[in-house]
Chains A and B, each alone.
Chain A
Amino acid sequence: MPGDQVSSPESRVPGAASRVPLLEARDLSVSIGGVRVVDGLDLALAPGRSIGILGPNGAGKTTLLLTLAGVRGADGGEIRLHGTALARMSRRTIAQRLGMLIQNTRFAFDASCLEVALSGRHPHLPALASESAADIDIARAALAAVGLAAMEARSCRQLSGGEQRRLALATVLAQDPAVLLLDEPTNHLDPARQVEILDGLWRRLHQPGETLPGGQMMALHDINLATCYCTDVLMLFGEGRWEFAPTAEMLTENRLSRLYGCPIRAVSDGRQTVFAAAGGPPAAR
């Protein structure tokens, strides 16, 4: 992944060997328009872990991620990034360590793809500095990682929906944060791209020789991507209830059916277990 060779000293974390989680929520409560969607959440993201967030529409997955990123206020509780309270850190310091792929990126002006990806280096550069050759290499590597290497000179506004999504991902990869929050990273992507992107993100977490591997949290709609790419799963049931445990424990027919309020079946072919909503017209179920 880009930047692991060239990362600036402050972007990596002091006390790497310590047992401090990368990101931690303590008794965190979050509301949308007066409705409590997450109540008293306790959760820690350890290095090398990938937490999937599952829940029905409107359960607060996006809101929780934005809150964890510090761009949206919480009702109560505390968020700690590398052991420091998020509320006490500057936006710039946070952005050196935590990046987030938001759900909808709208490009208002015709910047080139390379320029957009380079904006990921913004938090790592002093105010008056320009991007160095190393930064440009990082941005190019990020574009390559999402399959957009050939498009670096293309305007971001001429891309398809899936390409825009991948460009936004390249930006956050160029940012190279230890903590990566992803809001539906596979949205708008075809199955091959979904696997390619999530493979890449997985490799990023398990770099050999990295003193401190990163961690990620991603909101997903596809349960089967969570089985493959998440070490832990956080379920948001709406109305504030949540459950958090390792993936194998969380992803059961029973629990998923409760989560989505519809029957979910596990189908196994001996190599892989796949979850699907019990399908067909009502009579056939």
Chain B
Amino acid sequence: MRVNAPFGTRARLMIGVLAAFAAASVGLALLWGNGQVAWPDTAVDWRIVGEIRLPRALAALVTGSLLALAGALMQVLLRNPLADPYVLGVSGGAAAFALAGMLLGLEFVPVELRAFAGAMVSSLIVFVLGRGRGPWSTARMLLTGVVMAAGWGALISLMLALGDDQSLRGMLFWLMGDLSYAGVSAWWLMAPAVLLLLMMARARSLNVLAAGETQAALLGEAPKRRYAEIYVVASAMTALAVAIAGTVGFVGLVVPHLMRMIVGADHRRLLPAAAIFGGAFLVLADTLARNLFSPRQLPVGVLTALVGVPLFLLLLHRSGRGR
């Protein structure tokens, strides 16, 4: 537990260590491919690194950051460390709307916007139905989210079956999350950075909101307005992540949990730590997914789920033991 000021030396040091770790994970992603780690020698090697591996590593970095931040925010909204955009069906909603727009000929609307609409609709349903009071709230929230996720999954499968369009990205992308076709320019790093800065301006408020609506109001917050802001930003983060990598699960669960153990629960440290480590986590997961069974490539969502599901069950088990 931290006892020093929120931006104390220790906190800065931890953020620095995490940033170095993220840089190292990108380095590994650039050098490790086709099952072997090798320094690029030839011009062809360099082109592979620069034009294939780098954009993909950046996509993983951006997606992981966004998902970890979205998870941390949703955990405040629902006052529950089990909240995650994938588990709650928010990613599913974003994917379903993105896909539906394509099939309905709404391609003039950017995929990010369609996904944003889906994320907003889905999280609105979960937050309205799932924010019960009392001992049932965890069960209620998870049930609502899981059922929503199942519903979106079914819709996505239906659309893919009926759509039968070669231009559509595959089932794996929409249902599991896959970075195989993903690649973004370095400019995309601005997306999590800007959204992180927006939320950092509210970070102390997030600490108070995590204590519940009444307590937050008593400590001088206008909770309804803050909840609305967080809801919009978390939906936007989820939507951008889904547009890049499909519905990658559990990053928003695993990363904030680990970061709370390292930097504590104060959101002024938790948010930047989650943004940095979230990116590194997904870069590493994707690098492993590419190389573990090379030349076969796993969708990255398989790996994140294999890490996330046991942790989810462990947290659920603990939350059942009283306080």
- A residues near B, CB below 8 A? 66, 69-71, 90-96, 99-100, 102, 105-112, 114-116, 119-120, 122-123, 125, 127-128, 130-131, 136, 152-155, 157, 164, 175
Contacts and interface: CB of A to CB of B under 8 A. Distances in A.
B317 interface: no
A125 B204 contact: yes
A115 B207 contact: yes
B265 A91 contact: no
Contact of B211 (A105, A114, A131): A105
B1 A91 contact: no
Q: How large is the interface on B (under 10, 10 to 19, 20 to 34, 35 or more residues)?
A: 20 to 34
Contacts, number: 104
B168 to A, nearest CB: 40
9 contacts: A70-B217, A71-B218, A91-B222, A95-B220, A105-B215, A109-B210, A110-B264, A127-B202, A152-B3
B256 to A, nearest CB: 9
A107 B211 contact: yes
Contacts of A125: 204
B219 A102 contact: no
B314 interface: no
Contacts of B207: 111, 115, 119, 122
A122 B206 CA distance: 11
Nearest to A94: B220
A122 B5 contact: no
B2 interface: yes
A153 B4 CA distance: 10
Given A94-B220, A95-B220, A125-B204, 9 more contacts: A91-B221, A92-B220, A99-B218, A109-B210, A109-B260, A115-B266, A119-B219, A120-B219, A130-B7
B3 A153 contact: yes
Interface string B192-232: 00000000011011011011101101111110000000000
B268 interface: yes
Interface in B1-45: 1-3, 5-7
Given A91-B217, A91-B222, A108 B264 contact: no
